[in-house]
């Protein structure tokens, strides 16, 4: 497979059968964790395990099936009406996709949002539901429930000079004993309202939108960064001063993982180990009201990180 088709994202060297816009622009150095990616014709009949069992069934706010994850003898299947399907082998070293009536953009969205992070865990990395930037030389993870503004805050920090590392999912590994955060894909997902506020030309352009979110191109840093701080975003329903509070409940860190489906002892031990490492760094909740702008939070975070 030609080297020009390699994209290193989430700590994986993805060798694709063609150029995919949602992977284009990833310039990180190879890690040695190889995943071969191909888009095939036809659905998974005859390829997938008919005795597979569902381990996740995600639904939209109206209760319709959004996507489903199944486990079988050959690995995992991630599929949904708007996303086609992706089959992952049990080692996370091969991914086979099929549009199955979905648009290519929809399939790529599920690829970077679910399939590749899932493969990263199979390769021994940990994944957190977070966006990440680099301030100074260390990664700052921004985690919290969906809708709290992780992506908007990461972009606000980037506009103030931070290096962009990842959006929505951060893969974490080790360099010796040091936990490091790997660059994600060259794509960020923001709300349509946030996309409308972005200065014209600030990023590389719009890849797609569906009325709920807008996918924009954004260039991540080319190298992993050692973990420095983690902030858990918590939006209150009433106005008040922005509060920074230390995280004292370790379950809050454990719940920040992006993958709750793989629960083998080795994986759980790895997750506990990384959460313990995070707890020894700056680890704080940020509690803020609905009218607090991302730029205001970015300024406060910058000040706290710089103060040490």
Q: Domains of the chain: which residue ranges?
A: 3-122, 126-185+220-307
CA distances from 171 to 40, 185, 194, 267 (A): 27, 11, 25, 14
Check residue 44 and give its pLDDT.
Answer: 64
- Taking only the tens place, the pLDDT of each residue in 147-200 is 899 999 999 999 899 999 999 999 999 998 899 999 999 999 887 777 776 665
Residue 28, both tokens = 């990180």
Distance of alpha carbon 73 from alpha carbon 36, whole angstroms: 19
What's the pLDDT at 204? Answer: 59
What is the C-alpha separation between 131 and 250, in angstroms, rounded?
A: 20
Please count the helices (runs of H) and the strands (runs of E) in the chain. Answer: 7, 19
Return the pLDDT at 1.
38
pTM score: 0.93
- SS3 of 257-290: ECCCCCCCHHHHHHHHHHHHHHHCCEEEEEEECC
Q: How many CB atoms lie within 10 A of CB 224?
A: 23
The secondary structure of 33-68 as a DSSP string is -EEEEEE-SS-STTTS-TT-EEEEEEE-TTS-EEEE
Question: Closest by alpha carbon to 179, among 249, 117, 230?
Answer: 230
As assigned by CATH, the class of the 126-185+220-307 domain is alpha beta
pLDDT tens for each residue of the chain, 308 residues long: 345 589 999 999 999 999 999 998 898 999 999 999 999 876 665 678 889 999 999 988 788 889 999 999 989 999 999 999 999 999 999 999 999 899 999 999 999 999 999 999 999 999 999 999 999 999 999 999 988 999 999 999 998 999 999 999 999 999 988 999 999 999 998 877 777 766 655 555 788 777 678 888 888 899 999 999 999 999 988 888 999 999 988 889 999 999 989 999 999 999 999 999 988 999 999 999 988 999 999 999 999 999 88
CA neighbor of 143 nearest in space, from 232, 250, 229, 245:
232
What is the per-residue pLDDT for 197?
A: 66
Strands 205-209 and 282-288: unpaired
CB 116 within 8 Å of CB 16:
no
């Amino acid at each position: 497979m030609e080297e020009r088709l390699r994209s290193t994202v989430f700590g994986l060297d993805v060798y694709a059968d063609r150029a995919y816009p949602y992977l284009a622009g990833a310039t990180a150095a190879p890690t040695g964790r190889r995943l071969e990616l191909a888009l095939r014709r036809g659905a998974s009949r005859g390829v997938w395990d008919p005795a597979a069992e569902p381990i996740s069934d995600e639904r939209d706010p109206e209760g319709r099936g959004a996507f489903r994850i199944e486990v079988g003898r050959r690995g995992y299947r991630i599929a949904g009406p708007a996303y086609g399907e992706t089959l992952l082998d049990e080692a996370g070293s091969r991914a086979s996709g099929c549009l199955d009536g979905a648009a290519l953009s929809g399939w790529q969205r599920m690829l970077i949002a679910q399939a590749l992070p899932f493969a990263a865990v199979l390769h021994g990395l940990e994944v957190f539901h977070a966006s990440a930037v680099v301030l100074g030389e260390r990664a700052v993870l921004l985690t919290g429930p969906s809708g709290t503004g992780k992506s908007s805050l990461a972009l606000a920090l980037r506009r103030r000079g931070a290096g962009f590392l990842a959006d929505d999912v951060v893969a974490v590994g080790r360099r010796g004993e040091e936990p490091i955060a790997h660059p994600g894909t060259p794509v960020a997902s923001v709300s349509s309202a946030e996309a409308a506020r972005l200065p014209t030309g600030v990023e590389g352009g719009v890849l797609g939108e569906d009325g709920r979110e807008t996918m924009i191109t954004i260039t991540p840093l080319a190298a992993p960064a050692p973990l420095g701080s983690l902030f858990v975003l918590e939006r209150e329903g009433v106005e008040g001063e922005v509060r920074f509070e230390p995280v004292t409940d370790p379950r809050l860190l454990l719940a920040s993982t992006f993958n709750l489906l793989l629960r083998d002892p080795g994986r759980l031990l790895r997750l506990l180990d990384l959460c313990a490492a995070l707890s020894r760094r700056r680890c704080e909740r940020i509690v803020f009201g609905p009218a607090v702008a991302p730029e205001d939070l970015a300024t406060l975070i910058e000040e706290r990180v710089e103060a040490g």
